[in-house]
Amino acid sequence: LQKSLNETFGADKYSEARKEVLTNMFSRPMQMALYFCTGVLEDETLFRHYALNVPFYTHFTSPIRRYADIVVHRLLSASLGASSPIKMEKEAIQRQADHCNDRKMASKRVQELSADLFFAVFVRVR
């Protein structure tokens, strides 16, 4: 598959763009992670990371990238006793998580539609 893709990418000025779009399209079927507040879920099996096979998992990146990461940093800091407790009810945290999930899915959908458009142009040209 990789050899076939490399031949398809070509060597013109759009080859890197084609590579990025096609690689993105092949990774679409992967399930997207969701933010949630553990305090509103009773089933702890939902906290696990399937691919890593760990029972409790949290993920975040640099807090300068996304609001959701800031929330995770603050909650982890409070749970470790490094900062004062968060003064939000768990339902309010879950509403924030739901909002972050909605925005992330909307962003992903725009990205997919853009890739679909580029792919259609690529197929038409080829």
Summarised one tens digit per residue, pLDDT across range 20-75 is: 877 777 766 666 778 888 888 888 888 888 778 888 888 777 777 788 888 888 98
pLDDT at residue 27, rounded to an integer? 66
Per-residue model confidence (pLDDT) at position 8: 73
Bridge partners of 3?
Answer: none
Only one residue has tokens 């959701």, namely: 68
CA distances from 50 to 40, 56, 106 (A): 20, 10, 24
Q: Where are the domains of the chain?
A: 1-30, 36-125
Q: Using CA atoms, how far apart are residues 74 and 76, in angstroms rounded to an integer?
A: 6
78, 84 contact by CB (below 8 A): yes
Beta strands in 35-107 (DSSP E): none
Percent of residues, the chain, with pLDDT higher than 90: 25
Asked whether residue 119 carries a pLDDT value surpassing 70, the answer given is yes
Tell me how crowded residue 7 is: count the other CB atoms within 10 A of its CB: 8
Q: List own/partner pairs for 53-60 with CB under 8 A and 24 or more apart.
A: 59/33
Separation of alpha carbons 56 and 33, rounded Å: 14
Look-up of token digits 């792919």: 119
Answer yes or no: pTM beyond 0.85: no
